[in-house]
C-alpha cells in the first residue's frame, strides 16, 4: 500500500516560521523605551524633574557629544574594555575548568563545589578592602573583581549542563564503543553547550557590574572614573552618559553571545 505525502509536506512547511519574519526587527520592543524617554523629556521640560537630580535626555545627548569630542569618552571606553577583556579571559578559564572538574567527577564536586558556593555569595564591595591589601590599588584589583563576576555563572551552568547530559545518549555511546574521552568530546560537552552559553550571557552582564564597582574605587581612568569625576562636579548629564555607555556595552556583548548561540547551536530544531 502506497502512502501519498503530498498533503502532508505543504502543511509541515506552513508551520515553519519564515526566515525573513524571524530576522525582521520587532518594532514593538522599541515602544516602551521610546515612551520612557518621552516621559523623561516631558518631566524635565515641565520642571517636575529638577536638572540637579537628573538632566534631560537632550542635555545628556549634548554632554555625550561634548565628552566624545574632547576624547575623554574614547579613552575611558578603551580602558574599561581592556579591563573587562582581561577579567573575562581569566574568569572564563577558571569557571569552565572548575565546572568541568565538578561536573564530571563526584570527588571533583565534593572538593570544588563547597568553596565555590561560599565564595559566590560574598558581595563585591566586601571583597574590595581585602583585594586592595593583596593586589594594591592598581589594575589587578579591578581585573580580579571582573574575573570573579565571570567565573561563578560559568561554573554553575557548565556544571549543570554536564550533569544534565542525556543518559540515553551516554549509554548509546558506551554501546558503540566510545572511549571516555570520545564520550566527553562528542556527547557530554556538546550537550552542555546550550547551558554554558546561558552562563556566558549571565557572566558578561556580571562582568560589567563588577567593573562598575571596581572603577568607582581608587580608579584614575575608565568609564567608572568618568562617572565619579562628574559626580564631584554635580554633572548629572555626564553621569548618565557613563551609565548609558555601560548599558550599551552590556547590550552589545549580550547580542554577540546570542549571535554565537545561533551559529554553534544550529543542530537544535528550535
pLDDT digits (tens, 9 = 90+) for 44-70: 888 888 877 888 888 888 888 888 888
pLDDT at 242 over 60: yes
| Cα 213 from Cα 234, distance rounded (Å) | 20
pLDDT at 3 over 50: no
Q: Has residue 41 been placed in a domain? A: no
Query: What is the structure's pLDDT at 212?
Result: 81
How many other β-carbons are positioned within 10 Å of the β-carbon of residue 133?
A: 9
Output 121 or 20, whichever has higher pLDDT.
121
CB 208 within 8 A of CB 250: yes
Query: What is the structure's pLDDT at 253?
Result: 82
| Cα 232 from Cα 49, distance rounded (Å) | 20
State how many domains the chain has. Answer: 1
Average pLDDT (214-220) is 74
Q: Has residue 205 been placed in a domain? A: yes
Q: Has residue 135 been placed in a domain? A: yes
Name which of 46-55, 241-250, 258-267 the model is least confident about.
258-267
Q: Has residue 73 been placed in a domain? A: yes
pLDDT digits (tens, 9 = 90+) for 75-85: 888 888 888 88
Q: Check: pTM over 0.75? Answer yes or no.
A: no
Query: What is the structure's pLDDT at 93?
Result: 92
pLDDT digits (tens, 9 = 90+) for 169-186: 766 777 776 777 767 777
Q: What is the CATH number of the domain that holds 223?
A: 1.10.3720.10
User: Can you list the pairs that 122-131 forms with residues at least 24 positions away whose Cβ atoms lie under 8 Å?
Assistant: 124/148, 124/149, 124/209, 124/210, 124/213, 124/214, 125/213, 128/213, 128/214, 128/217
Residues of the domain holding 144:
55-263
User: Distances in Å between the alpha carbon of 155 and those of 106, 164, 204, 211, 265?
Assistant: 15, 14, 13, 19, 20
pLDDT at 270 over 70: no
Q: Would you call 147 exposed, middle or buried from its count of C-beta atoms within 10 A (0-12, 13-18, 19+)? A: buried
Q: Has residue 44 been placed in a domain? A: no
Q: Has residue 45 been placed in a domain? A: no
CB 231 within 8 A of CB 239: yes
| Cα 214 from Cα 87, distance rounded (Å) | 12
CB 128 within 8 A of CB 213: yes
Q: Has residue 199 been placed in a domain? A: yes
Local confidence band at 4 (pLDDT 50, 70, 90 cut-offs) = very low
Q: Has residue 29 been placed in a domain? A: no
Amino acid at each position: 500500500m502506497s502512502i501519498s505525502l503530498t498533503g502532508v509536506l505543504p502543511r509541515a512547511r506552513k508551520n515553519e516560521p519564515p526566515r525573513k519574519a524571524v530576522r525582521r526587527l520587532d518594532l514593538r520592543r522599541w515602544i516602551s523605551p521610546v515612551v520612557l524617554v518621552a516621559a523623561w523629556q516631558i518631566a524635565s521640560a515641565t520642571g517636575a524633574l529638577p536638572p540637579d537630580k537628573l538632566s534631560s535626555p537632550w542635555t545628556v545627548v549634548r554632554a555625550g557629544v561634548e565628552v566624545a569630542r574632547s576624547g575623554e569618552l574614547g579613552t575611558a571606553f578603551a580602558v574599561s574594555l581592556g579591563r573587562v577583556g582581561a577579567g573575562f579571559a581569566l574568569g572564563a578559564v577558571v569557571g569552565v575548568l572548575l565546572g568541568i572538574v565538578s561536573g564530571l567527577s563526584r570527588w571533583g564536586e565534593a572538593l570544588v563545589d563547597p568553596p565555590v558556593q561560599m565564595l559566590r555569595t560574598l558581595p563585591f564591595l566586601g571583597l574590595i578592602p581585602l583585594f586592595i591589601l593583596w593586589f594594591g590599588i592598581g589594575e589587578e584589583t579591578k581585573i580580579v573583581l571582573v574575573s570573579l563576576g565571570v567565573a561563578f555563572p560559568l561554573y554553575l551552568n557548565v556544571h549543570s549542563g554536564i550533569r544534565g547530559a542525556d543518559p540515553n545518549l551516554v549509554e548509546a555511546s558506551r554501546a558503540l564503543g566510545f572511549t571516555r574521552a570520545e564520550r566527553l568530546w562528542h556527547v557530554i560537552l556538546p550537550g552542555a553547550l546550550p547551558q554554558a552559553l546561558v552562563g556566558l550571557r549571565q557572566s558578561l552582564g556580571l562582568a560589567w557590574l563588577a567593573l562598575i564597582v571596581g572603577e568607582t574605587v581608587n580608579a584614575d581612568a575608565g568609564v567608572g572614573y568618568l562617572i565619579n569625576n562628574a559626580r564631584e562636579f554635580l554633572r548629572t548629564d555626564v553621569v548618565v552618559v557613563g551609565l548609558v555607555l555601560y548599558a550599551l556595552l552590556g547590550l552589545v556583548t549580550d547580542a554577540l553571545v546570542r549571535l554565537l548561540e545561533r551559529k554553534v547551536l544550529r543542530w537544535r530544531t528550535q
